[in-house]
Amino acid sequence: MESKSFLASLSSSSGKSNSCDLTIRFLAPEERRKLALKSLGLFWAISLGTIPLPPIHWVSVPFFFGFGIYSFQKKIREVSRLAAFSVICPECAKTIGCPEQSLKSPILLTCPHCRFNLKLQER
């Protein structure tokens, strides 16, 4: 599996910042298909699960059915993801762990220790 590292800057709302190393993981076509089908299955299961709820099902069943298709198309086109990482908060100097997630810029975080809003972006 191919991956690429880059340097990113983590800044807080008070102006303090530090740098960290992030890794982009490129997904194989088989893994993309698996993630897309998992997402489709989840939303269709929610859609089916809301059938016995009379007033809500007029909205929830078609919404989750359609959102499943939207999510499938989004995931099947996602060629890379940001690998799980940990950063050090510039405010309280404690480590924040983050799970693997979709690539977007900037990534907004809230420190679970000091509640400062943090912005992570490529340098």
Q: State which of positions 71-90 bind Zn ion (CB under 5 A).
A: 89
Distance in Å, CB of 115 to Zn ion, minimum = 8
The answer to whether the Cα torsion of 33, 36, 42, 44 is positive or negative is negative
**Looking at 31, 76, 91, 109, which residue binds Zn ion (CB under 5 A)?**
91
* Start-to-end Cα distance in the chain: 25
Nearest-approach distance from CB 1 to Zn ion, in angstroms: 32
Where does this chain bind Zn ion (CB under 5 A)?
89, 91-92, 111, 113-114
